[in-house]
Structure 1
């Protein structure tokens, strides 16, 4: 009788082990080896635009943090981002869109950051700021419809927001983005990077070829200067909203070191 009980117990154990192997996703076995993705938004918007990218990354097993940087000053935004890096459960792939590229350039030297990804973003060198990078646009380049500052903050002209920022985003969402703009502090635009992360960390860059906020030639120049692995994707400045699949793909390439 004892031998039969032992045989049954062994069978049940074997079945349980077999079930665990069948039902456990491959990425779960890697545990904390999966890098954490930290997403940093740019000016005039908040972190909600990352939702599509977030959903893809989470589905693929990546821990994700969306930083709600206030875009009042570069120092504040870097501090908020560094807190997100510190709280991450594993090494970090730091991703910035637009002005968020300045933030990740400054915050990305953190030891936990394994790589930096720029999505249609500014990738400044030491001593550079957004204000300096946009000071002398090339002839014929589109001029972003930035309204005169009010109390030290900037907004885009709502009537021109879709064409300039989100031409390939569905109309109702583009209207919502225009109506829910986050005022962008002049102090944030004037904040200068001290030691850019791309000089000491691997970097990747997605050029949005239809961008009317940061001219694609400028994006290519910054990407080349940074030595970034670069892809080009048709899309507006809001390519992270309109084409989250392409953006998530590049982030995952960075996370796997490809």
Structure 2
């Protein structure tokens, strides 16, 4: 009889232990599933007169923080071509995406950002047009700086940033050596890109962040603010030139990280 009671008690204890562990495992699984996963994918889109390599300082910071970062090399031949190039990169991502655009790249992400994988947009000294608007409208929205200027379209339709004004007007807070190389390796844009209207506006339905480069001479900071405020974007001012993503990469990366964290 004593042996039987002892066996029964041990059996009850074993069953209780198994059920308790199972409950803990189930609770842990429920909590894990209840916690939204951090968005890990970030896609960076460059603007006119530069290419994706300018994003390297921001890329390095984000990758070191554990993000998966992809950089679009948009051809700058038409809005559609650039949107297609951006969507090609977005579609390759495993999960949701934070889409980031600089300058003309802001127009591109406004259109491409309607992609269902895009969760939020970050505009870095960028254009943020509405439906039916052209980038050119916003280029002319404020008086141009005397330190900046563009060439007229050449026989192939390409427009360059005025080489004589490149350092002061485009990359004033980079070293002269950095600026000289960027000037020599300019990626021109087809001038008609600035005349193409936007058809889809992602910022109307998705969270948006806008970075104002307070010393920007290529795109007037007041113009950046006007577009961002209209879109009700979360605005951050950073002291720097038009290529603020190169001169102040830590500050720019901080805003991109904030975009990923705000969606958790």
Tell whether 2:141 aligns with 1:147.
Answer: no
Unaligned runs of 5+ in 1: 1-29
Divergent runs of 4+, >6 A:
none
- Matches of 1:37 and 1:230, distance apart in 2: 19
> What is aligned with 1:90?
95
Quote the offset at 1:203 in angstroms: 0.2
- Which of residues 43, 53, 59 in structure 1 aligns to 2:64? 59
Match of 1:238 in 2: 243
Distance across 1 between alignment mates of 2:184 and 2:39: 37
After superposition, the Cα gap between the structure-2 partners of 1:197 and 1:143, relative to the gap in structure 1 and judged at 3 Å, is farther
In 2, Cα distance between equivalents of 1:195 and 1:225: 16
Whether contact under 8 Å (1:74, 1:187) holds in the other structure is no
Separation in 2, partners of 1:143, 1:174: 14
- The answer for the alignment partner of 2:76 in structure 1 is 71
Is the contact made by 2:38 and 2:260 (CA closer than 8 Å) also made in structure 1?
no
Alpha-carbon distance, 1:170 to partner: 1.5
Q: How many residues are aligned here?
A: 228
Q: 1:195 Cα deviation (Å)?
A: 2.1
Match of 1:158 among 156, 159, 163: 163
Separation (CA, whole Å) in 1 of partners of 2:40 and 2:229: 25
Q: Is residue 2:218 matched to residue 1:213?
A: yes
Q: CA RMSD in A?
A: 1.7
Uncovered stretches (5+) of structure 2, i.e. residues with no partner: 1-34
Structure 2 equivalent of residue 44 of structure 1? 49
CA contact (8 A) 2:148 2:168 kept: no
- Contact preservation (8 Å) 1:142, 1:215: no
Decide which structure has the larger Cα Rg and report it.
2
SS at match of 2:262: coil
Normalising by the residue count of structure 2, what TM-score does the alignment of the two structures yield? 0.83
Contact 1:115 1:202 in 2 (8 A): yes
Please state how far the C-alpha of 1:136 moved relative to its aligned partner: 4.5
